[in-house]
Structure 1
Amino acid sequence: MDFKNLKYVVGDGCSRGLCRRGCGRQDKQLNTYDWLADVPGNAETTDLVEVQFKNTRKGYYCNVNRLDLKKGDIVAVEASPGHDIGVVTLTGKLVPLQVKKANLKSADDIKRIYRIAKQVDMDKYYEAKSREHDTMIRSRQIAKDLDLKMKIGDVEYQGDGNKAIFYYIADERVDFRQLIKVLAEAFHVRIEMKQIGARQEAGRIGGTGPCGRELCCATWVKNFVSVSTGAARFQDISLNPQKLAGMCAKLKCCLNYEVDNYIEAGRKLPPKDVILQTLDSDYYLFKSDILANMVTYSTDKRMGANLETISGSRALEVMEMNKRGEKPESLQADGSQTEQEKPIDLLANESITRFDKNKKKKKTKSRGGRPQSSAPRQKQVGEYQKQHGEHPKREHGHRKHDKNKPE
């Protein structure tokens, strides 16, 4: 195959290459890139369609009517009771893989797609969505009046307005039977209470993380995996709760992203409790750079003294020599002290006050108005003190204040 003549172009669904249709619009959360969208006949391989609703709620439905659905189409789907309005986010061969990843227990969880949404359906949808914020504020007050230890984080109305889902957070088990009765009487809809965790709440609300990017749980993370402090230990990250916690006050999900690479790279380094012995002294582990495969040893357990930085392979070699009863002259491979290359600091010779304004020295003016230095005056005062033993009195430049004289 001639790779020189191979060109990647933005495809229109027929030509091969990077597919514009697979990317879709990025105004929906948990967007999935459909890299098979430009493959001919991809949409006809399965009847399953992925539909997304408000925030991070997704569902999988069967296209029984064989509608020509594309990514971004607004459809009316089956709900209990009535129908709901959602946006198609994925079609084709990738949908069965997403269904398997969602761990749907039975085929009954997959409902039907009725039709492409009409104008009447959209009018009902917008009317129902306009009541969500007021409903959430009022439901919080009702839960407070009932003295329930729970927080209602979000309210989502069904597309036809016949049902409302209340998402709440609670540390303990809550008996909300009385709450459901009060809410049903207040809003005249069917009530569904759904408990979510702190991570799910952050994903529904959204926000910006410490890295400066949008939260992963609000963009692409669907299934939350438990995060432990062991992931931070493997990566030699300081166990500071303020640094490790995310916007949800839980451990950051990104701690799990690179932990496998750190574990694999850490296997090439010697154990932390091993003492390397040389003819001069014993060396203790001071710090290690896992990904660079470099370790630094010190002759003192508690502080950095006579630091030596060597590679992980060299440390393992010295460790094997110590097991055989041999002691090298130095930790370095060539037996000589080699200086470790240090990063260049461009501001090493600069002062931290280089941008501060210099304080100008005060200068006295002579009678003619020109600046005059105070050095001759000090010389005259010194000579007068030597001759008379006292400081000269300055007659000019001082005037007594007369109270009767106006200023």
Structure 2
Amino acid sequence: MKVISVKFKESGRVYYFDPGTMEIHRGDYVIVETARGTECGEVVRGVHEVSSNGFNKELKPVIRMADGVDVRRMHQNRADERNAYRVCEQRIAAHGLEMKLVEAEYTLDRSKLIFYFTADNRVDFRELVKDLASHFHTRIELRQIGVRDESKMKGGLGMCGQPFCCSRFLKNFQPVSIKMAKEQGLSLNPTKISGACGRLMCCLGYEQKSYEYLNSITPPVGSTVRTPDGEGVVQEVNVISGMLKVRSTVESLAPKYYKREECVYLRGGRRGRKSGEGSKEAAPKENGKETAKEASREGGKTPARDSDAKGGKPRETAAEAGKPGPRAGQQPRSAAPEAPVPAAPATEPGEE
């Protein structure tokens, strides 16, 4: 289907609209209907084809091409928004509200004035709305946004020296967790991995999938590997270059660097591998620990019999357990055996 790309702010999102039969080119201004009302936007990409599978509902059509009057009105609204911003800040201070004003925005026909703000808690701004409506004589709308949206609206420079990703090309905010910083080997100092908004930097998620793959094929620190010079313990890992610093089990040999391809994971490490020999060898040990715990809970019952019970075979009753002859030097007892199964209470021989 044919669409055009339109944006309404310098650092705002790009929206698709149906051009119909009009010839629209990049740099033109168009009048469209949005959720905020009638607006004038700049075309950042002319008519082009996109797949219709990604659209949940029908696109809104372009009303008409913007003329000189519409463009002058849009620029006048931008100038009046700065004055509205100052007035609203004064009213907020007068009412003593704990909220931070971010931006003011007029619709093209000036039928609505929208104020964006941030606040830590819920704010009762009903009196403020009445005060602003009596001053501007138009419909007032207050919208609370997050700190990330604030940075996107205002813009700025990140610690990398580039403009904020959110105000430059990011369309939607993706979730970012501290786990990403750990897997990438970054410092967990909040001042180094947080952006200007105070949240974790969005760029942590750019290479996360690559780090997940490299970590899955790289032996972790503390694991035992087999090298061309024999077995050793991994002391340092650089997943990007694929180099591992390995200390040999022979004390006379100094630590040496090896490529990832030269090392074969054997066992151990702080993080389990997703695939490979390590997972196969580590499994029996873990299962052995669990089996020992189960055996202690079952009163000494062997793992094989317990697994048979789990596999669908009936557990042995106390009477069946007493059928084999007694030990040498002992008299047969009619009571339950020494280690009854808690899940199957002991029964008297005559109750079978």
- Tell me the TM-score normalized by structure 2: 0.66
Taking a change above 3 Å as real, the CA distance of residues 83 and 236 of structure 1, as seen in their structure-2 partners, is: same
The Cα shift of 1:80 comes to 6.8
In structure 2, the partner of 1:267 is 216
Question: Is the aligned partner of 1:205 residue 2:154?
Answer: yes
1:373-388 correspondence to structure 2 within 5 Å: none
Partners of 1:82 and 1:216 in 2: how far apart?
28
Higher strand share: 2
In structure 2, the partner of 1:93 is 49
Paired AA for residue 72 in structure 1: G
Partners of 2:61 and 2:246 in 1: how far apart?
65
1:234-253 correspondence to structure 2 within 5 Å: 234-253=183-202
Structure 1 unaligned residues grouped into runs of 5+: 1-44, 325-407
Question: Which of 152, 168, 171 matches 1:219?
Answer: 168
Partners of 1:272 and 1:126 in 2: how far apart?
60
Partners of 1:315 and 1:207 in 2: how far apart?
45
Partners of 1:251 and 1:180 in 2: how far apart?
34
Q: C-alpha offsets along residues 92-125 of structure 1, whole Å, 9 cap, x if unaligned?
A: 223857x64xxx6x54xx4342211112222322
Paired AA for residue 75 in structure 2: Y
Q: C-alpha offsets along residues 24-53 of structure 1, whole Å, 9 cap, x if unaligned?
A: xxxxxxxxxxxxxxxxxxxxx42x433210
The Cα shift of 1:235 comes to 1.0
User: What is the number of equivalent residue pairs in this alignment?
Assistant: 265
Q: Is the 8 A contact 1:50 1:61 kept in 2?
A: yes
The Cα shift of 1:299 comes to 7.5
Question: Is the aligned partner of 1:307 residue 2:255?
Answer: yes
Question: Is the aligned partner of 1:77 residue 2:37?
Answer: no
> Higher Cα Rg: structure 1 or 2?
1
Partners of 1:201 and 1:132 in 2: how far apart?
17
Paired AA for residue 70 in structure 1: H
1:117-136 correspondence to structure 2 within 5 Å: 117-136=66-85
Paired AA for residue 184 in structure 1: A
Partners of 2:14 and 2:142 in 1: how far apart?
17
Q: Give the secondary-structure state (helix, strand or coil) at the position aligned to 2:245.
A: strand
The answer to which of 118-127 and 221-230 deviates more is 118-127
Taking a change above 3 Å as real, the CA distance of residues 172 and 127 of structure 1, as seen in their structure-2 partners, is: same
Taking a change above 3 Å as real, the CA distance of residues 150 and 58 of structure 1, as seen in their structure-2 partners, is: farther
Partners of 1:267 and 1:255 in 2: how far apart?
18
Question: Which of 86, 91, 110 matches 1:142?
Answer: 91
Paired AA for residue 8 in structure 2: F
Question: Which of 106, 111, 132 matches 1:157?
Answer: 106
RMSD across aligned positions (CA): 3.1
Question: Is the aligned partner of 1:175 residue 2:130?
Answer: no
The Cα shift of 1:212 comes to 1.7
Partners of 1:269 and 1:214 in 2: how far apart?
34
The Cα shift of 1:78 comes to 2.5
Question: Is the aligned partner of 1:61 residue 2:17?
Answer: yes
- Tell me the TM-score normalized by structure 1: 0.58
In structure 2, the partner of 1:185 is 134
In structure 1, the partner of 2:264 is 316
Paired AA for residue 87 in structure 1: E
Q: Is the 8 A contact 2:219 2:234 kept in 1?
A: no
Q: Give the secondary-structure state (helix, strand or coil) at the position aligned to 1:200.
A: helix
Partners of 1:282 and 1:81 in 2: how far apart?
67
Question: Which of 287, 297, 312 matches 2:236?
Answer: 287
Paired AA for residue 84 in structure 1: E
Q: C-alpha offsets along residues 221-256 of structure 1, whole Å, 9 cap, x if unaligned?
A: 011001111111111111111110112121111111
Q: Is the 8 A contact 1:77 1:84 kept in 2?
A: yes
Taking a change above 3 Å as real, the CA distance of residues 113 and 299 of structure 1, as seen in their structure-2 partners, is: same
Q: Is the 8 A contact 1:125 1:161 kept in 2?
A: no
Taking a change above 3 Å as real, the CA distance of residues 306 and 82 of structure 1, as seen in their structure-2 partners, is: closer
Taking a change above 3 Å as real, the CA distance of residues 293 and 277 of structure 1, as seen in their structure-2 partners, is: closer
Taking a change above 3 Å as real, the CA distance of residues 166 and 273 of structure 1, as seen in their structure-2 partners, is: same
Partners of 1:81 and 1:226 in 2: how far apart?
27
Paired AA for residue 268 in structure 1: I
Q: Is the 8 A contact 2:39 2:108 kept in 1?
A: yes
